[in-house]
Structure 1
Amino acid sequence: MTCHMTRCHLFLNDNVPSLRKAFEYYQKSADIGEVQRTNNAGRCYENGIGVERDIHIYKAFEYYKKSAGMGYAMGVYNVGYYYHYGNGVKKNDCKAFKYYKQLAEMVYTNGMYCVGEFYQKGHTVEKNIEVI
């Protein structure tokens, strides 16, 4: 029920009190281990949805990493992206590749694309266009 209420607040009401309420529900859902809402709480911190934007992105990254640890594909992608671009964390292509590869193994096309780019450009892996 919490998940559905959050969606209603976010998508039916585009005003600040509703966005704050949506964020509160995302946090409550994250606290009880609801994986998608954990990732969404990170998105709220990253973009300032219902909460002051975390300019250092630390809180967003924490929520993304938590959802990735629960096997949520978008969480895995977000953590890989943060490492790849140094968004709120120290840039680390080895860690980015690890998360992108995990995502590709989950048969998630964004992960496959990112892994392919790493091989094509030779980021942390030997450049090899014929791998795929």
Structure 2
Amino acid sequence: MAMIFHKFEEVRNLLNDPKYRHLEPVNKLWDIYNTVKNAKKDTLNQNEGENLRKHPLIVIEGLDGSGKTTITYKLAEKIKAALYRTPPLCTDGLRGSFDDCKPLRRVFYAMGNYIAAEEIKKLLEEKPVVLDRYLTNA
């Protein structure tokens, strides 16, 4: 049965499990998340409860090879939007480190979505965002 993370706490708990917490890629993933999360806080205005999103978020999902990336590039260009993909670019160097362990592979993609969400919130303050895939199939 596939492991699906419905809450950030589930991701956090697995990454903090003593079996995994000592692993360098896990610590690097935490560092990336904390850096992105803290950078976001610096940009918020005083009304944190206020919805800061000023522009639309458009998410393109589909089967592998169905043309998602082509569509996202063309759409982002057409509407002058930021183009974003998951997993986020800031995690690319870690991707292979999580491939050999099924629970860690899934948590890598889930944490990537939390990182993406933080980065996208900031982008949406400036312009629309077209997102190439958010649901994970790892």
Would you call these one fold, judging by a TM-score over 0.5?
A: no
Higher relative contact order (CA 8 A, sep 6+): 2
| Structure (1/2) with the larger helix percentage | 1
TM-score under structure 1 normalisation?
Answer: 0.29
| Superposition TM-score, scaled by structure 2 size | 0.28
Higher strand residue share: 2
